[in-house]
Structure 1
């Protein structure tokens, strides 16, 4: 199989990526006929050979057939790539949750201190009233 020979051509011609520049791609892959399809169904009797390779965590598939005067590559139009985790969204959710929990904790703390301060002030006022009452009666 000549799969390795065609990998760079598949990457640069079909997906505009890979190790080759545009000039290298044109120089090395101009003799290839490239067709993009939704699904690969190789006809082994006709000489189709199926190839699979990985590049940048994606799996690419294509098949090729060598005719007398040219080579034909049939490429699966969408590579199989793992879903990219939404790290930015996840980080924003975590940061937002921490901020909300912090604000909730501050609100609870403020309510608790307000209640304690009111009780303490009421006790102070009561003691002050009792002290004034005691002064009058000497």
Structure 2
């Protein structure tokens, strides 16, 4: 798999193990639009009694997640599930998603096509933006 754009991992907690389909619908839209490319996904669940189970995208009941991931490059594994399970409250779950910013790869390709060079590309945390916006007013 050729990765040409920034890659992020996001973890989303679901207290009470309540996962709803709106998230999958939005991920499908982002993939279909070419905004992101999902590289891997994993769901870690801790039951009320503390029993931990984890599920890779291709094993999910809803095959939409497996279709989103496609051919996973196995970035997430049992060790990741175990690490997050230690911090997980009983009766909750965490969705782990690794995705490539496909839009950024397209932009970088356009830059290279004009013989330009990307000198730096850094993520600015939302809290830093909020702080800058507050101090500039």
Q: Name the TM-score class by shorter chain.
A: under 0.3
Which structure is higher in RCO with an 8 Å CA cutoff and minimum separation 6?
Answer: 2
Q: Normalising by the residue count of structure 2, what TM-score does the alignment of the two structures yield?
A: 0.20
Q: Normalising by the residue count of structure 1, what TM-score does the alignment of the two structures yield?
A: 0.20
Structure with more of its chain in helix, by fraction: 1
